[in-house]
Amino acid sequence: MSYTALYRKYRPAYFSEVRGQDAIVTTLRNQVRADRIGHAYLFSGTRGTGKTTIAKIMARAVNCENPVDGEPCGECSSCRAILAGRSLNVIEIDAASNNGVDNIRAILDEVEYPPSEGRYKVYIIDEVHMLSAGAYNALLKTLEEPPSYVIFILATTEVHKIPVTILSRCQRYSFKRIGTAEICARLDQLLREENVEVEEDAVKYIARKADGAMRDALSLADQCISFYLGEKLTYEKVLDVLGAVDTDVISRLLRMLLAGDVGGGLKLLSDLAAEGLDLDVLVSDFTEYLRSILLYKASEVSAQMLDLSPEQLLVLREDAAQVRDDTLMRYIHSFSELAGQMRYAYNKRVLLEIAVIRLCRPQMRSDELSVIQRVRRLEEIAERGSLSAGAAAGEGPAGTGFSGDSISGAARQMQPDASASAKTGGSGTARTDGAGTAAGMNGGADFPAKSLYEAKAAPEDLQQIEAMWSGIISGVSSPRFGSVLATTVRMFDPSDPESNLLVIAFKDFLGEPYVGDPKSAQELERLIGEKLGKEIRVKLILRSDAGLYGEQLMPVEVKSQNLAQHIAMEIETEDD
C-alpha cells in the first residue's frame, strides 16, 4: 500500500476530532441534532483551518441513518460511502478550474433530480471566489431557493471577492487560525501514534511556522520525519530541514545592525546563504523576532504568549534592553517592505544586503526615523568624547556607520560656532587637547565640558559596572525600565574618588517615573551587587537636574587598557 501523507491520514472524520473551531462545530452539531439544517453555508478563513474537512463531516452528518448527538455514526452505508468518496450525494467542485457559466448550469441541471438514496445532495464548491461574474449570476436564484433536498457549502480563502448578493443568501462561518498550543497538542498526539521521538522545542517551532494552519503543521512534520527517518527529531534538525535559523543567529544580526557593523552583517548573510538558508524565511523570522521584542517591551508578555523557550526569552530580554522602540519600528517597517519586494525579486540576496547596509547607515535615508537615529548616534559619539578624535583620524568610531567627514560636517551644521565655543570654553561643546582628543560630554549647560587635564578616571568598580552595563540592565523586571536605562549616562563625582555612589542620569522625560523611586534604585543596586560582588549605591536623576547635584559630575568611562579585563570579567560572571 502506498504511503499516505499525515494530513490526509489523520484528517478528522467527526466533529469531535476537529481542533480550534469549537464555535463552528458546536453550531453545526446543534443544527443536525435539532434538524434545523440550512440550505447554504459559506466557510471562509485562511488555508489549512478545516473548511473542507468540516464540509465533508457535515455532508456525512446530514445523510447519516443513525446520527449520534449530531455526529455521523460512521457505520451506516451512507457514512461509509461518503467517507470512501463513492457517494453520488456529495459532489465536490473546484471553482478554480470550473468557474464558468456552463459549469454552474451543469450543476443546476443536476439539482432538479433528488438523491437516489439518503436525504440530501450536498454540493461543496471550493475556492468559490474564483467563479466568474456570469457564474455568480447563474447561481443566484438556485442558491436562494434550492430544492429541499439540496445543500450548498461554499468555501473560500478570500471572502472579500464574493459578491454581496451571494453572501446574503448564506450562513457565514469564519474559520480562525488555530492556536499554537492546539497545534502542538495535536502534533504530540499524532507523532506518538507514528512512534516518532521528538523534542518539545521542535514541535513548538513547527507549530509556529504553520501560522495557524493545521494542515501546514502536519506537512512540515511529515517533511522533517522523512529527512531524519528513524531518528529523534530535535530542534536543530527541524531548523536544518526547514531552512530556518536559530534565535541566537537572529539576535547576532540584530546586534550587528544596532552597532552599525556593516561588514559583520554582510558576512553573516553570506554564511547563511552558503548554508542554503531560504532568505525569505530569514526575513520572516527576523521580523517576527522584532515583533516579539516590541510586544515584550510594550506589555511585558510572558514566554508562553511569545511561544519562546526560557533560553530564547533570556536572549530576547538582553536584546530588548539595548534597542529603543522607535528603532524597532524602523527595522520592522524596513523588513516588512523588504518581504514584499523579495517575493517577486530575481536576486533576493542583493535586496537583503542593501537593506542591511541602509539600516547600519541611517545617513543613506532621509525619513524621520532615520534622521532621529543619526542625531542620536552623533549625541552618543560626542558624549563618549570621541567626536573630535574621529574627525581628526578621518573616520568615525567603529560601528557607528559614520565617516569622519560626515561626523564633522553634521557637527558643523548642528553647531556653526563650535570652534569659537571651544576656544572660549563655552558650555555645550567639548574642549580638546593638543592631540584632538575630546573629554567630557555634549550635554549642554547641565554637563559642563572639561579639558583632558581636568578629567579624572572613575573608580575601578564603576568602570567595571560601565563595561557590564548591558548585562546588568537585561535583568531588570520591567522591559520599559530596561529600555530607558539603556540610554542613560552613568556618572560619578571626581572630587570623592573613594565614594561608591553611581549617579544614573536619564536623558529625557521617559525617566521621570523612576527618579526618586526607591524600588527602582534598590533593584539596580541588587543587580549590580550580583554582577560585581560589591555593594554600590545608586542615585537616579534627570539629565536636566544634574547641576543640582554638583557640576563636578563626570561620565564613567572605561579606560582602554582595562577594557579587555572588564569584558572578560562580565563574560565570566554571566557564565557562572
Nearest to 472 by CA among 396, 411, 523, 412: 523
Within 10 angstroms of residue 227's Cβ, the number of other Cβ atoms is: 14
Categorise residue 533: left if φ over 0, alpha if ψ from -120 to 50, beta otherwise: left
Strands (DSSP E) contained in 32-175 are 40-45, 90-94, 121-126, 150-156, 171-175
Q: Residue 330 and residue 316: Cα distance in Å, rounded?
A: 18
DSSP β-bridge partners for residue 42: 154, 172
HSE-CB at 332 with a 13 A cutoff on CA atoms is 15
Task: Note whether 456 and 496 are within 8 A (CB).
Answer: no
* pLDDT score for 3: 80
Q: Residue 552 and residue 574: Cα distance in Å, rounded?
A: 33
* pLDDT score for 154: 94
List the strands of the sheet with 40-45, edge to edge. Answer: 90-94, 121-126, 150-156, 40-45, 171-175
* pLDDT score for 425: 38
Phi, psi of 434 (to 5 degrees): -65, -30
pLDDT in tens, 372-395: 666 666 666 666 554 444 444 444
Q: Residue 352 and residue 128: Cα distance in Å, rounded?
A: 37
DSSP β-bridge partners for residue 542: 506
Nearest to 52 by CA among 159, 143, 149, 157: 157
List the strands of the sheet with 537-542, edge to edge. Answer: 537-542, 501-506, 489-492, 554-555
Distances (CA, A) of 564 to 233, 546, 559, 561: 41, 30, 10, 7
* pLDDT score for 55: 93
Phi, psi of 443 (to 5 degrees): -70, 15
* pLDDT score for 388: 43
Task: Note whether 556 and 514 are within 8 A (CB).
Answer: no
* pLDDT score for 456: 65
Distances (CA, A) of 222 to 8, 10, 52, 66, 215: 11, 12, 21, 36, 10
Task: Note whether 454 and 432 are within 8 A (CB).
Answer: no
Q: Residue 456 and residue 480: Cα distance in Å, rounded?
A: 33
Task: Note whether 169 and 7 are within 8 A (CB).
Answer: no
Element (H, E) at 286: helix 279-299
Within 10 angstroms of residue 16's Cβ, the number of other Cβ atoms is: 12
* pLDDT score for 171: 93
Cell 549616562, residue located: 489
Q: What does the longest C-alpha to C-alpha distance in the chain come to?
A: 103
Nearest to 65 by CA among 53, 54, 74, 52: 74
Q: Residue 463 and residue 490: Cα distance in Å, rounded?
A: 10
One-letter identity of residue 275 = E
* pLDDT score for 28: 94
Query: Which cell numbers hold the place of 86?
Result: 463513492
Domain 460-575 sits in CATH at 3.30.300.180
**pTM greater than the 0.85 cutoff:** no
* Topology (CATH) of 247-360: Zinc Finger, Delta Prime; domain 3 (1.20.272)
Task: Note whether 205 and 170 are within 8 A (CB).
Answer: no
Q: Residue 437 and residue 432: Cα distance in Å, rounded?
A: 5
Provide the 3-class DSSP secondary structure of residue 154: strand
* pLDDT score for 401: 41
Q: What is the DSSP letter of 438?
A: B
Say whether domain 6-175 belongs to CATH 3.40.50.300: yes
The tens-digit pLDDT sequence of the chain (576 residues) is 578 888 888 899 999 999 889 999 999 999 999 989 999 999 998 888 999 999 999 999 999 988 888 899 888 888 888 888 888 889 999 988 888 898 888 888 888 888 888 889 999 999 999 999 999 999 998 898 889 999 999 999 999 999 999 999 999 999 998 888 889 999 999 998 888 888 888 888 888 888 888 999 999 999 888 888 888 888 888 888 887 777 888 888 999 988 888 888 899 888 888 877 888 888 888 898 888 888 887 776 655 566 666 777 788 888 888 888 888 888 888 888 888 888 888 888 899 999 888 888 766 555 555 666 666 666 666 665 544 444 444 444 444 444 444 434 444 443 434 333 333 333 333 333 333 333 333 333 344 444 333 446 778 888 888 888 888 888 888 888 888 888 888 888 877 766 788 888 888 767 778 887 888 889 998 998 888 888 888 988 887 666 555 456 788 887 644 444 544 444 444 444
Strands 90-94 and 501-506: unpaired
Q: What is the DSSP letter of 544?
A: G
Nearest to 67 by CA among 28, 41, 106: 28
* pLDDT score for 32: 92
Domain residue limits, the chain: 6-175, 180-242, 247-360, 368-443, 460-575
Q: Residue 377 and residue 364: Cα distance in Å, rounded?
A: 14
Contacts 24+ apart (CB under 8 A), 109-116: 111/142, 111/146, 111/147, 111/150, 112/147, 114/147, 114/149, 115/88, 115/89, 115/149, 116/88
Domain 180-242 sits in CATH at 1.10.8.60
